[in-house]
Chains A and B, each alone.
Chain A
Amino acid sequence: AQKVTQAQTEISVVEKEDVTLDCVYETRDTTYYLFWYKQPPSGELVFLIRRNSFDEQNEISGRYSWNFQKSTSSFNFTITASQVVDSAVYFCALSEGDTGRRALTFGSGTRLQVQP
């Protein structure tokens, strides 16, 4: 069975610091998808990134970057020069298979607090 572990329950940083959120996953499938979602205080989960198991290229989007390493089953998320608006709960999630019918398995989330 698949599993996603976010060992960091809560992280607090000061604005402009860089911060990395860890995500470790377990799956027996060779085809799978990894996601990061952001949940601001308003409650709605906002999709950030989707990565398939065959694409290990790291990705950068503005201040956000993601490091996918199959060798360590990790999909870590780094925010560079953090801002107060980055304060939220961040979830890593895993979806197995190609059917599109598979639900997501979520980690327990990491609460990020960015202090001004």
Chain B
Amino acid sequence: DVKVTQSSRYLVKRTGEKVFLECVQDMDHENMFWYRQDPGLGLRLIYFSYDVKMKEKGDIPEGYSVSREKKERFSLILESASTNQTSMYLCASSLLGSSQKETQYFGPGTRLLVL
């Protein structure tokens, strides 16, 4: 079974704090993704990575950065948290170049509240 884990289920931070959200997958997947989920908007892509140290911006990258130093780990960084970044953050991973490609497997999500 694919396992994607996220470091926290719930997080409360103050405006201006630097926030790290960690995601780890144990299936040797090349692709990893960060989405945020807001009511009525579905999931929107923040960043994705298709290899170690490689990253590409998604639809809403402003205010975020990412880091992928190891294949299994993909970190989302909020350099200076703001209240409009209060959201549910979901990490996903997928395999590249197999019959299962394109299927993304998700972690349990992190609910972030920025006060």
Write the residues of chain A forming the contact surface with B, with a CB cutoff of 8 angstroms.
4, 6, 9, 33, 35, 37, 42-47, 50, 91, 93, 95, 99-104, 106-109
User: Known: A44-B106, A44-B107, A44-B109. Is A100-B101 also a contact (CB below 8 A)?
Assistant: yes
Smallest beta-carbon distance A84→chain B, Å: 22
Q: Does B96 contact A (CB under 8 A)?
A: yes
Q: What number of residue pairs across chains A and B have CB atoms under 8 A from each other?
A: 64
Number of chain B residues whose Cβ lies closer than 8 Å to a Cβ of chain A: 32
User: Known: A106-B43, A108-B40, A109-B42. Is A101-B103 also a contact (CB below 8 A)?
Assistant: no
A33-B94 Cα distance, complex, nearest whole Å = 14
Write the residues of chain B forming the contact surface with A, with a CB cutoff of 8 angstroms.
9, 30-31, 33, 35, 40-45, 48, 50, 56, 58, 88, 90, 92, 94-97, 101-109, 111
Could you pull out 14 A-B pairs where Cβ atoms are within 8 angstroms?
A: A43-B9, A43-B109, A44-B108, A44-B109, A91-B42, A93-B43, A95-B102, A100-B30, A101-B31, A103-B45, A103-B48, A103-B58, A106-B42, A108-B40
If over half of A's interface residues share one DSSP class (helix, strand or loop), that class is named, otherwise mixed; here it is loop
A7-B103 Cα distance, complex, nearest whole Å = 24
Q: Return the chain B residue nearest A35 by Cβ.
A: B103
Question: Do A50 and B96 have beta carbons less than 8 Å apart?
Answer: no
